[in-house]
Amino acid sequence: MRIGFGFLRAEPDLCSDPGLHRLGWVWRSGGCGGGWGMGGFKAAPVGSGRGVISASSCNAHRWISRAFFHLTDTPGPAGLKGLQIVRPGGEAVRVRRRQRAGSGGVMYGAVGTLRQTGGGQASVLDAMLLRNSGKMATGGQGEESKGSAPEMQPRWLWCHCYHHCPVDSVNHTCRTDGYCFTMVEEEEGGVPILTSGCLGLVGFEFQCRRQNTGNSGQRRTLECCTDQDFCNRDLHPTLPPLQTPSYVDGSLHHMALFISASVCSVVLALIIIFCYFRYKRQESRPRYSVGLEQEHPCMPPGESLKDLIEQSHSSGSGSGLPLLVQRTIAKQIQMVKQIGKGRYGEVWMGKWRGERVAVKVFFTTEEASWFRETEIYQTVLMRHENILGFIAADIKGTGSWTQLYLITDHHESGSLYDYLKSSTLDGRSLLRLAYSAVSGLCHLHTEIFGTQGKPAIAHRDLKSKNILVKKNGSCCIADLGLAVKFISDTNEVDIPPNTRVGTKRYMPPEVLDESLNRTHFQSYIMADMYSFSLILWEMARRCVSGGIVEEYQLPYHELVPTDPSYEDMREVVCVRRLRPSFPNRWCSDECLRLMGKLMSECWAHSPASRLTALRVKKTLAKMSESQDIKL
């Protein structure tokens, strides 16, 4: 047996199709005088489990009802193959063949119950079938076969109605032979309205399955029921979703996501391309355009920097390498890595003929400092073992950029500031650092008379960051960009024409309160001695005595902020006349006690009371001899 599902629909040609199981159906048509008609039932294909029940009436197409049916190939109670109608939730009945009187037509009527399929009331379709069959028997149009179903009255269903009530409705109720329905529809403003009522048997199939959704039209949903009277009270239809706006929103979301991803990809690609070309450009030309060039004919191959400098020194000029040699060396230097950066520019480690050098690159705004430092370094008889060794200076540039660099000796230990932060000292190393530093300062301050004499020079920016530490533990003074020269022939002070000033933390009282006599060179000498005393204090704190040592700190660290202003320093140094404190352990160590005495005499408030660099140098030398320390 195959089970199918379908609808009653008017298709007149089915009766003449020999390939179909032509099974009759009895129905009562509303048109054509209410006559009887005959139609065929179309069987479903094998294995499909579904079929279409069709019927014809007055050559007009009309939906009548829905039914579950079984097409059976076995003879029924009357010995006929036929159609089994199964009522939803009710009984199964069988139709059998009948001969219609007066026309020779064939019809089928209900012949009785075949099997029980569950409780519930008979469907309207079966009631129609039995009613029509009974009317035929009563009308005398044909003889009813044995076992035919008796005539049945139509089944009426009471429903609750609201907004769809007939005129004679009482208490919002109505009666129908079809279905009860409840409908929800959207009114203007998006407000859902719930209505209910009765639905006739004819056309119910279209109505009960209807949903309307759209942007322009109103949304509505209708649900039907036939379970019991007033069953539509339990129906709660909901409005269908707005599919088109959701689709639009989704499309916009995906479009925005696609555009964002595309833009990010393009930007990332541009960044990668930019970085690639910049990298290739840096590979082809070092950052400061200092690269290896061909050997200059004036420079013999194989000569080292030391050889060149010694030759220049022995030649009698005393002012460093010839300018042509300097420019040649500058063009042949390879930049290796950046090792420092300050307010004036950057410091790079470079190589020339395998030797390490330091390249100090000035910002273009610091051209005055570069010029002054170059001028001081090239002063006659300026070279000293405790002053940073000068090699060359040059300016390179195009119309769009200018490079100012100064090439000096390279010292791996770095500045005294960095050295003291990472290392502790003993008495020997303390004296060696202090003696070498004051020796370089003494050479700067001393005027050398003669045909090629050296003028007296004051540093004006002494601090631990401007003193470098050599491999042998000695110091050399660097950064002469603020230095001033004393011209004894004219008794004038040569002050550099730049706006740069010294470091506020190391400024003496006369500079902070602006009482410095700028026309008197000795005032600058005494200002250097005040700054040098603070450097001695930094060294002595890192000297171990009795297994005790203080951590490295800058002078006045407990009295002023990290970056003090002029007002901060003036208040501490000039008004309150405070100085860095001495740890108690210094009193029990002879070396540190004498160092403390030197500091106190060098940072006296009155410049005239301070020791000179030569006096400090002799005192440190005497301290070394007394402790049998060879400097």
Contact 420, 433 (CB under 8 A): no
Q: Is the pLDDT of residue 106 over 50?
A: no
Q: How confident is the model at residue 343 (pLDDT cuts 50, 70, 90)?
A: confident
Q: Say which residue the tokens 């036929």 belong to.
A: 82
Please compute the mean of the pLDDT values over residues 548-566 and round it to a whole number. 95
Q: Is the pLDDT of residue 118 over 80?
A: no
Contact 182, 206 (CB under 8 A): no
Taking each helix axis from N to C end, the angle separating 521-541 and 613-626, rounded to the nearest 10 degrees, works out to: 30
DSSP symbol at 159: E
The SS3 call for residue 20 is: coil
Please compute the mean of the pLDDT values over residues 462-466 and round it to a whole number. 96
Query: 461 an active-site residue?
Result: yes
Q: Considering the chain, what is the average pLDDT of its residues?
A: 74
The SS3 call for residue 344 is: coil
Cβ neighbours for 600, distance < 8 A, ≥ 6 positions apart: 533, 579
Please compute the mean of the pLDDT values over residues 435-457 and round it to a whole number. 92
Highest mean pLDDT out of 249-258, 315-324, 338-347 = 338-347
The SS3 call for residue 284 is: helix
Q: How confident is the model at residue 249 (pLDDT cuts 50, 70, 90)?
A: low
pLDDT value at residue 401: 75
Structure tokens at 468: 């470098």
Structure tokens at 213: 């959704």
Amino acid at 143: E
CA distances (Å), origin 361, targets 149, 369, 432, 455, 621: 116, 11, 31, 27, 37
pLDDT value at residue 56: 34
Please compute the mean of the pLDDT values over residues 555-564 and round it to a whole number. 95
Highest mean pLDDT out of 12-21, 71-80, 476-485 = 476-485
Contact 106, 98 (CB under 8 A): yes
Q: Tell me how long the chain is.
A: 631
Please compute the mean of the pLDDT values over residues 124-146 and round it to a whole number. 39
pLDDT value at residue 528: 97
Q: How confident is the model at residue 387 (pLDDT cuts 50, 70, 90)?
A: very high
Secondary structure, 3-state, 109-147: EEEEEEEECCCCCCCHHHHHHHHHHHHHHHHCCCCCCCC
Torsion of CA 156, 162, 168, 173, to 10 degrees: 40
Per residue in 357-369, pLDDT (tens digit) is: 999 999 888 888 8
Highest mean pLDDT out of 33-37, 94-98, 188-192, 279-283 = 188-192
Q: Is the pLDDT of residue 68 over 70?
A: no
How far apart CA 199 and CA 225 sit, in angstroms, is 10
The SS3 call for residue 7 is: strand
Pairing of strands 402-409, 390-397: antiparallel
What letters, b where the CB count within 10 A reaches 16 and e where it falls short, cover 509-521? bbbbeeebeeeeb
Q: Is the pLDDT of residue 139 over 80?
A: no
CA distances (Å), origin 618, targets 235, 305, 432, 442, 598: 113, 33, 13, 11, 11
Tell me whether residue 360 is annotated as binding: yes
Contact 348, 339 (CB under 8 A): yes
- Residue 487: in which H helix or E strand, if any? strand 484-487
CA distances (Å), origin 561, targets 176, 501, 512, 542, 567: 97, 19, 17, 22, 11
Please compute the mean of the pLDDT values over residues 581-602 and round it to a whole number. 95
**Better-scored residue on pLDDT, 244 or 373:** 373
How far apart CA 81 and CA 100 sit, in angstroms, is 18
Please compute the mean of the pLDDT values over residues 26-32 and round it to a whole number. 35
CB atoms within 10 A of CB 296: 14
pLDDT value at residue 265: 93
Question: Can you say how many angstroms the Cα of residue 596 is from the centroid of all Cα atoms in its chain?
Answer: 56
Taking each helix axis from N to C end, the angle separating 427-445 and 521-541, rounded to the nearest 10 degrees, works out to: 170
CA angle 603/608/614 to nearest 5° reads 75
Contact 466, 534 (CB under 8 A): no
Q: Is the pLDDT of residue 50 over 80?
A: no
Contact 95, 77 (CB under 8 A): no
Please compute the mean of the pLDDT values over residues 225-231 and round it to a whole number. 90
Show contacts of 31-36: CB within 8 Å, 24+ apart.
31/57, 31/58, 31/60, 31/62, 32/57, 32/58, 32/60, 36/100, 36/107, 36/132, 36/136, 36/141
Q: Is the pLDDT of residue 429 over 90?
A: yes
Structure tokens at 448: 């050398």
CA angle 302/307/308 to nearest 5° reads 90
DSSP class per residue in 528-583: HHHHHHHHHHHHHHTB-BTTB-PPP--TTTTTS-SS--HHHHIIIIIIS---PPPP
- Residue 622: in which H helix or E strand, if any? helix 613-626
Q: How confident is the model at residue 402 (pLDDT cuts 50, 70, 90)?
A: confident
Q: How confident is the model at residue 242 (pLDDT cuts 50, 70, 90)?
A: confident
CA distances (Å), origin 605, targets 557, 576, 601, 611: 19, 11, 9, 12
- Residue 610: in which H helix or E strand, if any? none
pLDDT value at residue 284: 58
Out of 96-100, 210-214, 282-286, 481-485, which region has the weakest mean confidence (pLDDT)?
Answer: 96-100
β-partners of residue 42 are: 52
β-partners of residue 157 are: 176
Q: Is the pLDDT of residue 101 over 60?
A: no
Out of 419-423, 448-452, 505-509, 599-603, which region has the weakest mean confidence (pLDDT)?
Answer: 448-452
Contact 94, 85 (CB under 8 A): yes
Judged by phi (left if over 0) then psi (alpha if -120 to 50, else beta), residue 321 lies in beta
Contact 83, 94 (CB under 8 A): yes
Please compute the mean of the pLDDT values over residues 26-47 and round it to a whole number. 35
Q: How confident is the model at residue 211 (pLDDT cuts 50, 70, 90)?
A: low
pLDDT value at residue 365: 85
Structure tokens at 394: 């040059």
pLDDT value at residue 543: 96
Structure tokens at 29: 């048509």
**Better-scored residue on pLDDT, 575 or 401:** 575
Kindly name the residue from 126, 461, 479, 589 that is annotated as catalytic: 461
Q: Strand order of the sheet with strand 41-42?
A: 9-10, 52-55, 41-42
CB atoms within 10 A of CB 497: 8
Q: Is the pTM of this model over 0.75?
A: no
pLDDT value at residue 574: 96
How far apart CA 94 and CA 73 sit, in angstroms, is 13
